[in-house]
Copies of this chain bind each other. A is one copy, B any other.
């Protein structure tokens, strides 16, 4: 393997000193880039893109060719695991992801298999190819949905406004939900370890929907399984620690308990002041975030002002190390790429250690 030329991202995740604050952007390979849309068109469909390692490699590298980002993230879908459990992932045009089969009854839960790792080889193949293509430029992040977030889609059968079906299960048949979560956790561990074996140099667990839970239910149904995942992950690969990032969108109230599960860094959204977040997690974890993606609809001067505010909030206690700059959610498809460039540049420039 090529030597890593830029390890600021990995160092920041471990709260080691870096010459500037590294930045990457959730969903950085995506629809706001015309070159992504061109690849997707060639692929024929979103799944045609996501299940083809060549296309995945192509789109993963696209944002890096435009912007001096400090990390690449595997291009894939959050729902590969339930698909590999046989639920039949599909995308209806203009709607979100859907499953042909849902997991709602005792019988559904009982016969739910672990994810078939052979069916997920397109993902590990993509990881290997991307690592080769990156050739040591920046580290590659692998990822998975959290056990609870995957369960949301599996029980609801797709996205949801109110999470009525999974919460009905949670309050009526918590035993069934626990069984699903156990299977999901075991599958996520195997999946992320396979990504690490294939070359992922950091991993991120996306708990997109944990923030919709009551605080006690969050601990029992989301955090406990995220912790189990962390405990099952390989710690080292290629002679280096593989840092883990955990992100619960809307989880700002729970940072103290999130900092205890074995993650090296926590993702945080824009509702929290990073100075408060840092005070609350102490020396336990690094922080990743937290600009509102909608800030990128402002003019470059506004983007610069807001990015500097985020940097200053993190460094309010005098140290800028241990911060990975990011948005607090995926970038909008309506974003002007020139505004992303303005953001990346200001973060690097304004955070340069003197």
Contact = CB atoms under 8 A, between A and B. Distances in A.
Interface of A: 162-164, 167-168, 170-172, 211, 213-218, 250, 252-254, 270-273, 276, 291-292, 294-295, 297-299, 302, 306, 309, 332, 334
Nearest to A163: B294
A213 B214 CA distance: 21
24 contacts: A162-B294, A163-B294, A164-B297, A167-B292, A168-B298, A170-B294, A171-B297, A171-B302, A172-B298, A172-B302, A211-B271, A213-B271, A214-B271, A215-B270, A215-B271, A215-B272, A215-B273, A216-B273, A216-B309, A217-B292, A250-B250, A250-B271, A252-B252, A252-B253
A198 to B, nearest CB: 33
What are the 10 tightest A-B residue pairs by CB atom distance, in nearest-first order?
A171-B298, A167-B294, A214-B270, A168-B297, A214-B292, A252-B253, A171-B302, A215-B273, A171-B297, A253-B271
| Total copies of the chain | 2
A254 B270 CA distance: 12
A313 to B, nearest CB: 9
A47 to B, nearest CB: 22
A309 B218 CA distance: 15
Contacts of A172: 297-299, 302
A40 to B, nearest CB: 20
Contact of A162 (B167, B170, B291, B332): B332
A151 B309 CA distance: 25
Contacts of A162: 294, 332
A273 B302 CA distance: 36
B164 A334 contact: yes
Nearest to A309: B216
